[in-house]
């Protein structure tokens, strides 16, 4: 998953009586799954009389949906809580109520610590229990400081409101859909098994119903989400065992659903059926995020990845044989405890061999409670920095080379949103790149044939074709 920070604003329910409702501002840190969770938290809060707002100043409830993957992400949360504390005091002085909630993975990992360090917080709720938000807020309004971080026995998705078609129309033409949560891999650097729990797959019928509702609301592209999404498994219509590949074949049958993607995958769960789906399904975009983390077998073993560099390269070869035009993305950690210069050179060689269209790379940071935090031979910060700079320079060159290779190609482009210039739209290529095109706002949601005419630092430029 990526380490990005985004502010999510869900659309207000159509026809809501805003004068008689509270307003919630939701700020989202971290991965795409947190973005999805923020959408669904907004849905849950709607049943408690809340509508969402993009203005923190006018919100009656500010909810931080947090990420715990890297140390700086948690630090940002505590910094934000300090600012919210001051805002809450100012509101109280003026006779206005303001509530503060912390959700997500930092909430799960540090619930009691959050209440100790940030007395202004009213509610702390984990990623498996946010369907209980309305009840938690009711308790908080009665004066209780609420922590809801026990793993729920019930299926939270069964207790969330059904996706609202009218609200979906206001959210856009692409959507995330969580199909799997948690992870059983226990990589030694990762907090996910401790904050999201063990692997759980949503039932097939539940996924198909939500996907169908999204499409009926105008969504053209759905990205399936999971901490380890290709570990999804479930029962097919006749009770047979299904994996993610089977699920993709089923979703591709939904009328009006033009594009499918999924993220994030683990190499050990990339099975034959999933590779066949890349070969057979026109709706499945030729883009795959498949993290490897390192190119040294010694470091991969220390990370408990349970595959070798050669295993990963053989898998890439099989995928490219099935789908030659596929673009690959990955994650890399530099400076894992014990990483030598030779180990790092192995990583560079793997990157050069694969050739990535996009990748995310980070310096290793210890996460309390993970096995990696107890390892010796920690790499010095300046060494991590030097290695990260070299790796990112190589990855950036590969990204630019891939973008340049797209110039002259004719592609199908999904038009998603207005661009910075008048009469310009931003679309998404099959390889997940942003593409600028002169087009009218009325064309948002269309899939049009374009020719790529130029590659910029962060996006492509295109012109319409007659195809």
Predicted pLDDT at 18: 44
CA distance linking residue 21 with residue 58, whole number of Å: 12
In 92-145, DSSP assigns E strands to 99-104, 123-125
In 157-272, DSSP assigns E strands to 174-178, 180-181, 200-201, 221-225, 233-235, 241-243, 259-263
Predicted pLDDT at 13: 39
Predicted pLDDT at 11: 40
Predicted pLDDT at 367: 81
Q: Is the torsion defined by CA of 34, 40, 45, 51 positive or negative? A: positive
Predicted pLDDT at 166: 65
10-residue averages of pLDDT along the chain (467 residues): 40 41 90 89 89 92 87 80 94 91 90 91 91 92 90 71 70 92 92 86 95 95 96 95 98 97 96 98 98 98 97 98 98 97 98 97 88 89 97 98 98 95 95 96 96 96 88
CA distance linking residue 344 with residue 342, whole number of Å: 5
In 238-301, DSSP assigns E strands to 241-243, 259-263, 287-289
Predicted pLDDT at 466: 75
Predicted pLDDT at 10: 39
Predicted pLDDT at 153: 54
What H or E segment, with its residue span, contains residue 300? helix 297-302
Report yes or no: 258 and 283 within 8 Å, Cβ to Cβ.
yes
Predicted pLDDT at 165: 67
pTM of the model: 0.86
CA distance linking residue 383 with residue 366, whole number of Å: 16
């Amino acid at each position: 998953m990526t380490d990005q920070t985004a502010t999510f604003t869900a659309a207000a329910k159509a026809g809501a009586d805003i004068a008689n409702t509270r307003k919630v501002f939701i700020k989202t840190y971290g991965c795409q799954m947190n973005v999805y969770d923020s959408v669904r938290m907004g849905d849950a809060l709607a049943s408690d009389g809340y509508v969402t707002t993009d203005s923190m100043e006018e919100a009656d409830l500010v909810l931080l949906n947090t990420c715990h993957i890297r140390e700086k992400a948690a630090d940002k949360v505590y910094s934000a809580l300090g600012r919210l504390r001051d805002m809450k005091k100012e509101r109280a002085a003026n006779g206005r109520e303001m509530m503060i909630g912390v959700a997500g993975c930092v909430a799960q990992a540090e619930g009691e610590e959050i209440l100790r360090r940030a007395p202004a917080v009213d509610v702390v709720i984990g990623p498996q229990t946010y369907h209980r938000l309305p009840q938690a807020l009711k308790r908080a309004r009665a004066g209780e400081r609420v922590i809801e971080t026990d793993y729920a026995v019930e299926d939270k998705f069964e207790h969330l409101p059904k996706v609202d078609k009218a609200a979906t129309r206001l959210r856009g033409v692409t959507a995330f859909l969580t199909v799997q949560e948690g992870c059983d891999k226990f990589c030694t650097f990762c907090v996910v098994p401790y904050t999201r729990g063990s692997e759980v797959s949503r039932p097939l019928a539940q996924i198909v119903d939500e996907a169908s509702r999204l499409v009926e609301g105008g969504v053209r592209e759905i990205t399936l989400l999971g901490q380890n999404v290709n570990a999804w498994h479930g029962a097919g219509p006749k009770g047979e065992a299904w994996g993610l590949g089977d699920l993709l074949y089923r979703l591709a049958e939904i009328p009006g659903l033009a594009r499918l993607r999924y993220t994030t995958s683990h190499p050990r769960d990339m099975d034959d059926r999933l590779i066949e789906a890349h070969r057979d399904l026109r709706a499945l975009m030729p883009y795959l995020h498949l993290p490897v983390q390192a190119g040294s077998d010694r470091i991969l073993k220390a990370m408990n990845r349970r595959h070798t560099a050669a295993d990963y390269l053989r898998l890439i070869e099989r995928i490219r044989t099935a789908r030659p035009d596929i673009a690959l993305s990955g994650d890399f950690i530099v400076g894992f405890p014990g990483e030598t210069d030779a180990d790092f050179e192995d990583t560079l060689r793997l990157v050069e061999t694969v050739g990535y269209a996009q990748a995310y790379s980070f310096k290793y940071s210890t996460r309390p409670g993970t096995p990696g935090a107890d390892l010796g031979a920690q790499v010095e910060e300046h060494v991590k920095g030097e290695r990260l700079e070299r790796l990112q320079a190589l990855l950036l060159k590969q990204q630019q080379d891939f973008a340049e290779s797209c110039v002259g190609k004719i592609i199908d482009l999904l038009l998603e949103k207005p661009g910075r210039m008048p009469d310009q739209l931003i679309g998404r290529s099959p390889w997940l790149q942003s593409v600028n095109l002169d087009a009218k706002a009325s064309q948002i949601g269309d899939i049009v044939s374009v020719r790529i005419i130029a590659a910029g630092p962060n996006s492509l430029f295109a012109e319409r074709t007659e195809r």
